Structure 1
Amino acid sequence: MNARYKNPDNDPRGDWKPGDCIGNGERKNGNYTVISPITGKAFTVPQGKHWVYAPKKMEQLIKDNRIYFGKDGNSIPSVKQFLSEMGGRKASSLLMYDDYGHTDMAKKDLKKLFPELEKIPFPTPKPVKLVKTLAKLGTNKGSV
C-alpha cells in the first residue's frame, strides 16, 4: 500500500488521496458555486483561479462520491484519486542507459545471476533493469 493513500470515508472503491479541484488562471465556465451535499455550505474559487471541472462534470463527480468535502463536509472540495485507478508512471519512448542500463551492465547482471558462466552466451544481453521495466509495461496484474 502507498502511504499517501487512505480511506477516511470508507469508500468501497478503496484507498485514495485528495487531488486539487482548483486550477490557476481564470477559465470560461470555471467560476461557479459548489455546494457540499453534506452541509449545504457553498464554495467558490478565489479570484484568478477556476474549478478544474466544468459544472456538469463536477455535479457528476459529487453524485458519484468522488468529491470529498472533509470529514464534516465543510472543507474545500477535493477530488478522490483512487490508488486502484492510478496507472503509475507513463513509459518513456526513450530508454536512457542511466535509467535502464547498458550492455556492460547486462553482462555483469548475467554473471551475478549465473556465476558458473565462463562466457556470455549471446552478443547483446539486456540489463535486468530493462527487462523488468519491459515486463511491467507489457503485462497486467496477475499475468503469467
Structure 2
Amino acid sequence: MLNALLMFIGVSGGIVVGNAAGAFISLLGIVPRLAQISDTDSRVPLYQWILIISATMFSFIFFSEFSFKFSKYLLIILGLFFGTFVGLFASALAEVLNVIPVLSRKMEIIYYTPLLIISIVLGKVSASLLNWLVLVNYK
C-alpha cells in the first residue's frame, strides 16, 4: 500500500513539474521565437514534437539504469549540439525577458552591449568546459 501511495505521489509530482515546464516554454514563446530567428517558421510543429519526445526520453533514461557507451569523439560532437541548443534556449529566454537591454540601461553601458553579450557567452562556455572537463572527472 505504501509503495502504491509513493508511486502516486511521484507520478503526480512529475505531472505537475511537466505541466509547469510546458507552460513556461509556451508562455515565453521560446519555440516560435527560435523558429522566427532561424527563419524556419514552417517547422514549428516538428520542433514541438521533438521537444515532447526528447523530454519524455530524457525522463525515462534519467530514472533508469540505462546508459550510453559513446566514443570520446562522438561525445564531443554531441556536446557541441547540446551546447548549441542550451545556448539558443538561454538566448531566447534572455531576449524574451529583455534581460540584456534592461541590464545595459541600468548599468549605463548601452554602447558596450556587444561586449556584454560576448562576456555572457564566454562565461557560459568556460563554465561548461569547467564542469564537463574537470568536475565530472572527480565524481
TM-score scaled by length of structure 1: 0.22
Q: Structure 1 or 2: larger strand share?
A: 1
Q: Structure 1 or 2: larger helix share?
A: 2
Larger radius of gyration: 1
